[in-house]
Amino acid sequence: MQSFGATFFLLTVVLVCCGPTGTTASYRLGVGRADCTGPPVEIGFMGYGEFSQRGQGIHLRQFARAFIFEDSDGSRVVFVSADAGMMGHAVKRDVLNLLKARYGDTYRFENVVLSGSHSHSVPSGFLMSYLYDIASLGFVPQNFDALVEGITLAIVRAHENVREGRVFLSETTVHEANINRSPSAYENNPQEERDLYRDYTDKKLVQLRLVDMADRLVGAINWFAVHPTSMNKTNRYISSDNVGYASVLLELDRNGVLVPGQGEFVGAFASTNLGDASPNIMGPKCEKTGLPCDMLTSSCPPGAGACIASGPGKDMFESTKIIGTRLYSAATTLLNAKGGREVNGPIKFAHQFIDMTEMKVPYVDPETGKQKVAQGCYPAMGYSFGAGTTDGPGAFDFRQATLTDSSFWNTARDILAEPTAEDKQCQAPKPILIASGRAKFSYEMQPKIVPTQLLVIGDIALAAVPAEFTTMSGRRLRAAVRQASVESGAREMTVVVAGLSNMYTSYVATPEEYAIQRYEGASTLYGPHTLTIYLEQFRKLMRVIARDETVEPGPWPPFEDDKQITLSTGVVFDGHPFGWYFGDCKLQPKETAYRHGDIVRVMFIAGNPRNNLMHERTYFTVERLRPDFEETNSVEQHSHRQDRWEVIATDANWETRFKWHRRSTLFAYSDIELEWEIADWIEPGTYRIQHFGYWRYILGGTFPYNGTTRNFSVQ
């Protein structure tokens, strides 16, 4: 942490021996998508840890995208990419409980991976770890339930629609879509290791393409290493950011629809080793002078402002669009080529919980060549964590690459939780700012027990990691899993790091990067050998899979649902001004015609959007009067035929935004302002905008309402 419309049909593919064209099916596959948008207003966002960054509306909705793979022996795995900041253990646990009620033991911790896309512009409050939920003032049940229900529905839809099919693996290079935001830390990795790679970040986009037996495209998973931080911490709209926009573009294109969330094809852009990979490719500069920042500390001279990196656009919206379009274009090129290598082979999986504070693994000290033992530490955050990153700077006087502490901040730290001498020695050279592993709250501040998981689909291995791995950490993990497979007598694997999966535990930097103590190293919870422990653990899981062995489940993470603190209040009631009612249009479209590039702005008397999250629906629609009815002169002839209006956009479209305004806290008056930017492809005609919502009665109950603007024209 820096710091999913309309119902759609889901398609799955099932393996049998032979398809209608004579080609052999490889797997049973399933694709599914569902809306999992969290509360769009009043809740703090996940990502930047900025208390003032609270939701005010929606730009892009959140979706969960599920993919099922099953081989001829009935071995099944599920991979889900959700437009969420990351994933929580309790979210996965409750998803599996709901699936168990439907399908028994088909879906379990071992064979299901839930991965968050890592957008920083989505609601917080679902992780059940105090430090991670602090921006939303604790646990937010409504957001937790939205994720659980949306992810479950996506998997259910995938499960219920099964067909034969095949899988292909392709790769391509994407330039000008990411940079390394901590180059000074990356450069501390061994020169001979860095010489193996051309770039400071991974530039490959890896794609799994799913087709049915008629060679029709039904799904695609794309992995590319980039932070979804094109939308910066001044943003107040829910947004799935650059990778979410890429998914929207891909699905609209392949399904031939206008509204996101519709159509059979499901396309995801999932997170991988994005820890130090930023989309702000113009690089960091001092905000007041425009001059470069100090490379090591990402700081600026006094009076020069904060060190902030920017994207390629004139603002965060354009930057999001540019980066998302580049990812979409790369994925589309691969899909159009219909090439790549077909994936064949059995499906296997392994999963184990481990207590990072108890882990001890052997390793060879690179400086002395001697065998040593790496010990996991109690979780702690370093001083440079407080500095934030160039994607979103922190507060106070913290700087990155800080290796010394201060008596002032240590005193403040010790009030919260005091680290032991062992903690300090174990975490060195990290100066501890937050001793989260020693905090005495009613529930964990950060996890100690973490999930590790490996899915194997033929010769593809998905290493599901519960953190943000840096570029080099991900490269080492891929190499370790690949080597373990070969040494166990199995096939050489193409390894994909599936980041931010199943649980969230901040970052994983290499020991060398850790020594520099930039943001990523300071946010590596379990000490300098966190990566060392993960490498050995994933080697172990690969060996278990290659040898058809079993592994103990490990210690279970604590159940802490009953201990959660919730300080964000729910909606008490909604009111409306005298002479107005919910759904009344307060600001109408202008009477003169609009043109391409114009923005239509309207406003309605509204209830609080948190009364109903409108999953699989929308808070508003942009509708066009179908051309075959436009010549009808009688308004009355139009009004009773709703099918004469065609929905061309909802609150899930890129061209739309809605913003909620609280007009009176005492009387609970509020408005919703809706915007629609008229794209070049919009045809001339007659249009209208409808708003849908729910209002809450002071004595209990919520009630639906809707409102419609007058018609307006586009020329």
Separation of alpha carbons 270 and 207, rounded Å: 10
Question: What are the Cα distances from residue 593, in Å, to 423, 590, 599, 687?
Answer: 67, 8, 12, 10
- The answer to whether 46 touches 118, Cβ cutoff 8 Å, is no
Q: How many Cβ atoms from other residues are within 10 Å of residue 627's Cβ? A: 12
Question: What are the Cα distances from residue 359, in Å, to 208, 534, 692?
Answer: 34, 10, 53
- The answer to whether 538 touches 452, Cβ cutoff 8 Å, is yes
Dig out the tokens for 103 from the structure: 């399908």
Separation of alpha carbons 261 and 465, rounded Å: 28
Separation of alpha carbons 578 and 575, rounded Å: 9
> Which residues face 278 on adjacent strands?
179
Tally of residues, the chain: 715
Cα radius of gyration rounded to whole Å, the chain: 25
Separation of alpha carbons 361 and 539, rounded Å: 12
Q: Which residues contact 406 (CB under 8 A, 6 or more apart)?
A: none
The residue type of 562 is: D
Dig out the tokens for 355 from the structure: 């207590």
Separation of alpha carbons 661 and 670, rounded Å: 5
Separation of alpha carbons 82 and 142, rounded Å: 17
DSSP string, 192-248: HHHTT-SSSS--EEEEEEEEETT--EEEEEEE----S-SS-TT--EEB-HHHHHHHH
- As to burial, measured by CB atoms within 10 angstroms (0-12 exposed, 13-18 middle, 19+ buried), residue 133 is buried
Say whether 278 is catalytic: yes
Separation of alpha carbons 688 and 618, rounded Å: 15
- The answer to whether 497 touches 481, Cβ cutoff 8 Å, is no
Which of 278, 485, 501, 568 is the catalytic position? 278
Question: What are the Cα distances from residue 53, in Å, to 42, 46, 47, 386, 389?
Answer: 9, 9, 10, 17, 16
597 CB-side CA count, 13 A: 0
Going 249 to 252 to 255 to 256, the CA torsion angle's sign is negative
Q: Are strands 163-173 and 204-212 parallel, antiparallel or unpaired?
A: antiparallel
List, by residue number, the catalytic residues. 278
